[in-house]
A and B are shown apart, each in its own frame.
Chain A
Amino acid sequence: MKRRDLILFLIIPSIAILSSCQHKPAAAPANPLLNAYDVEQSSTDPQRLIPLNYQQAQGKRVFNNNCVWCHADSTPAGPSNRSNLTPTPPLFTDGETFNSLSDDLMRNTITLGGSAMGKSAIMPPWGQTLTPDEIRAVLAYARAVAQPPYKASARPASQ
């Protein structure tokens, strides 16, 4: 009898506690599908894909609309205008050039144009064409795809 009481005493709360635990379904396996809008092929290793977050993906869109013509070697229309220009604009993935430049300097160059920052006037000012958010997004995209990779810690991030 005593043992049965003890068992009863143990069973009731344990049922109550167990029932409160949730059944956790097994995590779904990661989908191998790749997405061209949300990833970017690494410029040095085509096998490697760089995932883009929301802001970087928006930057990719703006880049492919406005910047790709002079800062990439192939464009949606085919040939690029880059080789046509003196001085030759740096490629958007050119980490060696861009990684050492601060976010502020990069943003100001895009916003105010090359001549305002003491660079070539062939870089036009985009401040009245793109919104500040779009310019920030383009920068985030360029940072994400830079080769060698850009390390934010190398310079204090500016807000």
Chain B
Amino acid sequence: MTAKKMGEISTRLRAIFALVSVAFVAVLAVSPVRDFFQSWKRYEKNYVSYAQTRPDTKRLLADFHPGIDQIWLPEMRVLDRCTTCHQGISQTSLSDASVPQPFRAHPAIPHDVKKWGCVVCHRGQGPATEISEAHETTLAWEQPLLPIRFIQASCGVCHRADLPQTPKLNRGRELLSQLNCSGCHHLQDIERPAMLGPDLSNVGNKLTRQWIYKWLKEPHTVVDSSGNTVVDGYETVEEPRMPQFRLTDPEIKALSAYLTTLKGQPIEPAKFDQGVVASLQKSPDLADQGEVRFRQMFCTTCHSLAVTQGDETKLIGGNIGPELTKVGSKINPDWLVAWLRDPQSYLPHALMPRYRWSDQDLYKVTQYINTRLTDPELLSNVPPLEEPAQEEIRLGQRLFLEKGCASCHVIQGVSPQKDFGPDLAILGSKNVSQLEFGNSSIPRNIISYIQAKITDPLSVNPAARMPQYRLTPTDLDAITTALLGMTGSPANSSLARLIVPRAQGAFHPAGAFGELSDRYKCAACHRFNGDGGNLAPELSFEGSRAQRQWIMDFLKNPQTLRPTLIFRMPQFNLTDQDASVIADYLGMVTQSAAVKLSAVDQKQFTPQMAEMGKQLYEVKYQCNACHTIGSAGGYVGPNLSNAGNWLNAAWIEEWLKNPQALVPGTIEPRRSLTEQEVQALTAYVLTLKQKAPGSAGTTAGGAQ
């Protein structure tokens, strides 16, 4: 019995053992089977069969190597196996949209895809060979693929200088500096300018407490007939300004109380020549005359005004200075006169030029501003504000620091908190676990985080001090792109070698021209050697381009004949002395090495050559499609009616041979002209002269 039972048990044990063994083998087999059915192997197989359906099978298969394909960039710490599945990535014959993914070729880009791999730009997990691990956020990898909308961020990691191919990234960087983000945050390659918001040390002399209250509470400056806000005092694309801070009514009262006590230097009452005032005071159209001067001087090149046309109210004018539609209801009239006479004595870093005003003009223009650019209803909804109490002033002073006002506005004797906002220079390389999402329900990734933080900071951090920005979706994406590209300084020297730095031009002229350049703020609009504004033509080579007398005439009376140009150079009322100093400086210093003025003798141009040039201009090359002479021709290039008085012969010759060599990016197409044709065209252009001095063409070499 026992033996029989033993036998039964051992049979059963054997059976169990057999079963367990089979189970064990089966479990062990999972791994090789899984390996055999790896998705990348499937894709490789599919690629081979797909290649056989293509006309260039032979070449495709010659480039195909089975097994894991990887690109290793040790200095970047990148291991990239994407091409294991993305087999056709550099096969130009597979670039058509009908080619199924993952075999489609990458669009032509300036970088060699086979050399750099994919993750350098697209992010994601390079070594992964599973679809989800390579593309998505997993427990082991926090940086998913960068959505293609933001791909230009990756260009910005190395290309710190703006590239023409990355308009979105460039726009984002431009917004970051326009919106004064550098006031509170440290940003990569965006330096803090000398002045962000105006210096408020003396603001009590300029503004009333009521106006400051209104500005802090609801700075809508222009409302159209149906009550819609047209100009929002907070930032808009046309009018970037102070952002929206979350302030309670007592806080606004306290801040306005504190700010009105800031009266550094008393403003002297406006003084005009008594004769001028007496002669103008009675004229019924004084404000109209002021408006005419305001427009003639092209104040609107920098300042905008709301203009109602039909049902539509919109801002017209530039955004270098503030919008002025209701400025007459804002400022103290005595302050206005003092400001216009010498802006820098109130704000040392102001971009406003110091005009040479005649008393007549100044009187007329200030009368226009004080009577026409006003709104009697502007302060109607401001509650009565009593004399500021000491307590309020103290609270206001504290709030000024706590709310971050001091990060953009200077007040003498008040030092701002250092590093008020977090450092954003490394934001683009942060992992999801390093970001604070609070209680918000947004997707856990860096893009949602950045966008939530900009559009609704409280949603991710209830204690956020950051103001709220209202941006269009396009601008929001642009700014996100720029921030994603900020990945900090390169981790090692071999990476540092790859960085294309942002060119830091410097233009600090000294001497007599230096003084004038500082007075008239030339660099606010014009660029010199990579430094300055972008509104007006670059002047780095103006001395090679324009004749001295033309520069003099233009400075005295800047009339452009280009009808498409909205912004024009203001009339500064320069003296002859000023104009000749500037013309001498431009003629001597701003020279292009490519243009040898002395090498071209004007006498060599004969009337026969000019006649041939006229034929070439009008018939063979049809230059009149873009350039105007007299009253006929196109609007794209500058008007050439007075080109003979404007341009130097040597410049015209070099320009015709290769415009882009003189002004990179200019749109005038380069043509294959023979030497004879160049000379003939130059001879013709030099005959184009207008008698009246001052009616000159623009200096723009067709840059825009």
Contacts and interface: CB of A to CB of B under 8 A. Distances in A.
Q: Classify chain A's interface size.
A: 35 or more
A81 B635 contact: yes
Interface stretch (B267-275, B421-429, B489-497, B559-567): B559-567
A58 B168 CA distance: 11
Contacts of B672: 125, 128
B474 A126 contact: no
A54 B30 contact: no
A159 B105 CA distance: 14
B435 interface: no
Interface in B596-628: 619-622, 625-626
A33 interface: yes
A58 B107 CA distance: 11
B473 A128 contact: no
B19 A5 contact: yes
Nearest to B476: A33
A16 interface: yes
B132 interface: yes
A24 interface: yes
Contacts of A65: 164, 665, 667
A12 B23 CA distance: 7
Interface stretch (A34-42, A91-99, A101-109): A34-42
B107 A53 contact: yes
Interface string B652-685: 0000000010000101011110000000000000
A75 B670 CA distance: 22
Interface in A43-97: 53-55, 58, 61, 65-66, 69-70, 75-79, 81, 84-85
A81 B93 contact: no
B264 interface: no
Given A22-B130, A133-B108, A128 B669 contact: yes
Interface string A2-16: 000100110011001
Interface of A: 1, 5, 8-9, 12-13, 16-17, 20, 22, 24-25, 28, 31, 33-38, 53-55, 58, 61, 65-66, 69-70, 75-79, 81, 84-85, 115, 120-122, 124-126, 128-129, 133, 136, 157, 159
22 contacts: A1-B12, A9-B19, A9-B20, A9-B23, A13-B26, A24-B132, A33-B477, A37-B167, A54-B107, A58-B165, A66-B669, A69-B635, A77-B564, A78-B566, A81-B634, A115-B620, A121-B620, A124-B621, A124-B671, A129-B667, A129-B669, A129-B670
Given A9-B23, A69-B626, 7 more contacts: A16-B27, A22-B130, A53-B97, A54-B107, A79-B635, A121-B619, A128-B670
The list of the 8 closest CB pairs from A to B, nearest first, reads A122-B625, A54-B107, A128-B670, A33-B473, A124-B669, A121-B622, A69-B636, A77-B564
